[in-house]
Structure 1
């Protein structure tokens, strides 16, 4: 098939995010800052810009303790709109009317992945330093429609490309400035923006499988009628990867080090094979040594629920 790669994430901190077109708080979405000494009713929602989280009041009253330290009266209710794309979770998204632009200083990176996308185009620009010289520039068309005839060119509907990865960013710019812009004529959204180091694993072999684990509840009543309660689902896949024998130790140690880290696993990096992009963990991996020059790595991957 193609070379399999993994993007090991870099955590984006407050200091790394230098600008975003999505404000924090975001008044249009109902976000408001927590104010010490204010009386809040049950269900009131506030945000904290130090943690970039929303908090919901569980007990009516007044408090001078910040919500993140007052779990008796407040519970976490998810990330702020600005930071949803960086929380490394599926199901939370940063949204805007027609465009989102973020500028970060993530340090040395060689890969970028964007998941749960809604939009028409993404532009990625990397400069060697803040305000410096552009050393990398890519524009990604988010129309995943596969055109095979003139008829389809005119009549097929737009097919949203929801996931994509870039694995060729120049990683030797430790002081780089990364700008990512997603645009459309309609509302745009991005669930995950992850940057980091690309780990090459080997060559994915034919016979890979991909599917989902469905957590919906389906029951029959006594008359045989189905009662379905929609729930979350997660992607899963099984890949067999041919790895060079000389890379045995590096690959084994690299994968073992990712066992608790949600990463982007790329089984095939080409349009039309987006289901082979997984965001999650491996449930199991093993390395078989059948050849003198190559080994086989078996990976079972489970995506985060969405």
Structure 2
């Protein structure tokens, strides 16, 4: 049982990218905006909610009387901690990110591409890591013929741990797709060992869709997001209980990456999301706990 605690990637850290930004005008203090007009301000997309909107700074409108933030711009969506809508580019997506501190993990979610190349450059500068990961994979098959005839798919998620991301260095990311490359979220952070994952861990989903029936039994569906849940069962030496408690307190109400095993995850336990519940039962020698995580939408 491990948790990757990400850092916040600020616009200043993104030193280069080929991802296009929406063709919307930047907010101007002297322009009068109509109801529904959209502008770019502070790397976000803002929509006017009133007519004759003049001189109202979107960032200072804390009550949303004049402006509502609709999300990040295309270039900065991979760093907004939401998986519903990511960055879209052409044949490739590239990012160069300056590292403000030493880190050891890099994660991608919501990928649409054939491969990901990661280069890590020290302040020297020296390239200390250069790896291309192919995303093509076969769907699980029950028989040989099923394996032969199943089409290739492409993994949407990628978790890289055990890296050396030095403070003051740069990580260069290239996502190749041939056309319309996409990435939902990119996390940079530190990988933390919590405990030993046990059998009995459970997978599930939460469906936020609305389902109603009329008086004749007809079904009315309003599709809404479905999130993934993982209930991790784990054990730790009881002497580590205080350390684990401190970790949990730190990541509570914070978007993190939760996973069960190193390397390829054949069980589907990797979740980028938030912790919903935590419990640890203290016992002599070893203690046993539960962490429930729910994915982002």
TM over 0.5: yes
Pair 1:167 & 2:161 matched = yes
1:268 aligns to what? 261
1:213 aligns to what? 206
- Report the alpha carbon displacement of residue 242 of structure 1 after superposing the two structures with TM: 2.1
Partner of 1:15: helix, strand, or coil?
helix
Does the Cα contact within 8 Å between 1:6 and 1:201 map onto a contact in 2?
yes
Pair 1:114 & 2:72 matched = no
Gaps of 5+ in 2: none
User: 218, 222, 233: which is aligned to 2:215?
Assistant: 222
Cα RMSD for the two superposed structures:
2.1
- Report the alpha carbon displacement of residue 68 of structure 1 after superposing the two structures with TM: 1.9
Gaps of 5+ in 1: none
Distance 2:95 2:228 in 1: 28
1:26 aligns to what? 22
Distance 1:15 1:77 in 2: 21
- Report the alpha carbon displacement of residue 155 of structure 1 after superposing the two structures with TM: 3.7
Q: 1:243 to 1:138 in 2, by over 3 A?
A: farther
- Once the two structures are superposed, the pairs formed by residues 1-306 of structure 1 within 5 Å of their partners are 4-23=1-20, 25-27=21-23, 31-48=24-41, 51-70=42-61, 71-106=64-99, 107-129=101-123, 132-146=125-139, 155-171=149-165, 173-271=166-264, 273=266, 275-292=268-285, 294-304=286-296, 306=297
Does the Cα contact within 8 Å between 1:144 and 1:272 map onto a contact in 2?
no
Distance 2:230 2:127 in 1: 37
Does the Cα contact within 8 Å between 1:165 and 1:269 map onto a contact in 2?
no
Moved more, 74-83 or 154-163: 154-163
Does the Cα contact within 8 Å between 2:197 and 2:232 map onto a contact in 1?
yes
Question: Any idea what the Cα deviations from partners look like across 1:239-282, whole Å, max 9, x if unmatched?
Answer: 11122344322222111211121101112344353631112222
Does the Cα contact within 8 Å between 1:144 and 1:271 map onto a contact in 2?
no
Partner of 1:65: helix, strand, or coil?
coil
Question: Any idea what the Cα deviations from partners look like across 1:140-192, whole Å, max 9, x if unmatched?
Answer: 22223147788667643222311121111115x21121111111112111111
Partner of 1:257: helix, strand, or coil?
helix
Q: 1:281 to 1:272 in 2, by over 3 A?
A: closer
Question: Any idea what the Cα deviations from partners look like across 1:84-110, whole Å, max 9, x if unmatched?
Answer: 000112212111122110011122111
- Report the alpha carbon displacement of residue 290 of structure 1 after superposing the two structures with TM: 3.4
Distance 1:162 1:288 in 2: 35
Distance 2:59 2:231 in 1: 40
Does the Cα contact within 8 Å between 2:234 and 2:289 map onto a contact in 1?
yes
Length, aligned pairs only: 293
Distance 1:155 1:127 in 2: 42
**Given the two structures, how large is their TM-score scaled by the length of structure 2?**
0.91
Does the Cα contact within 8 Å between 1:121 and 1:182 map onto a contact in 2?
yes
**Given the two structures, how large is their TM-score scaled by the length of structure 1?**
0.88
